Amino acid sequence: MLTASNKYAMAKELTQQQSTKASVLIDNPGVQLYSVRDHLGNNAGATFEKLAAIGYKHVEWFDVTTLAAQASLAKAEDLTITSAHVLSPYLTGQQRLNMNIPTSLSSPEKLIETLNSHGVKNLVLSYLFEDERQNLEQYKQLSDHLNRVGELCQPAGIQLCYHNHDFEFNRFDEHSPFELFLQELDSEKVKFELDVFWVKYAGLEPAKLITELGSRCHLLHLKDLKQMPSMKEPAEKGFFQPLGQGIIDFPAILSAAQSAGVNCGFVEQDHTSGNIFTELTTSLNYLKTLNSQSGQLL
């Protein structure tokens, strides 16, 4: 039987573990490079310099074909590459006419080897083309592919994740693709990178979903939503806002993320009507304000 002193010691140890986890995330805010895609094409070195000056500590790569040319530029600014996005052909081998995958990345094994050489510890399937998501059977086949690739990732210490949009929550008869993923994906081999914007856009509460996923929620995309759409429609550019300037409850999200043990989060802004570096600064400052007020985590 546990004594009162033993229970106290266990509770204290758990609190210390959570605090350590929180401090790691607070000290290492990340940014998804899709936010600055146009600037990377013009001057990658200056772009990484600006992100570091804002206060971001690590990045999520969005175009793995540029790793060889640009990774050193990010590392020169002390920006760690913690994650990388890829589209499905990199994982399934099902080529598309509009994609030219380099030979060096032409199989999951080669992709994993490349990421490992750059110290990247997370590999994320970022998006499904419309013709890849017409029915639940396609999602079932994809789940099988992801489980196999997730197993290949494990010896390299790389975690495979799936990044959601809103369409995974659309129902086919009685079930949604996201529900199918929860059933079919191996909970250790494939985890989730939850995009809180798209979860909210789909009509769900991000904090609640993070709590339900628990340890299966490995990464977060953090971006704000100006308002809910009046009808089910593609998100217009104006819907994407810096953090704290929309309707998403980030204090609740950060609290749920801390409890779930989320590994890290990336600020992202798909579109902006102003200066993207100013808006990325606004987002990071907002998160710092939350942290100073309530001890939440990033």
Q: What residue spans define the domains of the chain?
A: 28-294
Q: By three-state DSSP, how is residue 1 classified?
A: coil
The residues, any chain, with a CB within 8 Å of residue 99's CB and separated by 6 or more, are 87, 89
Q: Which helix (H) or strand (E) holds 84?
A: strand 80-86
Number of C-beta neighbours around residue 266 at 10 A: 26
Q: Provide the pLDDT for residue 39.
A: 97
The answer on pLDDT for 170 being more than 60 is yes
Q: Provide the pLDDT for residue 9.
A: 42
Both tokens assigned to 35: 């936010």
Q: Provide the pLDDT for residue 26.
A: 54
DSSP codes, 236-268: PGGGEE-TTSSS--HHHHHHHHHHHT--EEEE-
Q: By three-state DSSP, how is residue 107 classified?
A: coil
Both tokens assigned to 270: 């798909």
Match domain 28-294 to its CATH number in 3.40.47.40, 2.60.120.10, 3.20.20.150, 3.20.20.70: 3.20.20.150
pTM recorded for the entire structure: 0.90
The residues, any chain, with a CB within 8 Å of residue 240's CB and separated by 6 or more, are 197, 223, 224, 225, 226, 269, 270, 271, 272
Mean pLDDT score, 159-187 = 96
Mean pLDDT score, 199-225 = 97
Mean pLDDT score, 127-141 = 96
Between helix 67-76 and helix 37-54 the angle, nearest 10°, is 20
Quick: pLDDT tens for 17-62.
Answer: 444 444 344 557 999 999 999 999 999 999 999 999 999 999 999 9
Q: Provide the pLDDT for residue 96.
A: 81
Mean of all residue pLDDT scores within the chain: 89
Q: Provide the pLDDT for residue 99.
A: 87
The answer on pLDDT for 98 being more than 60 is yes
Distance CA 270, CA 224 (A): 10
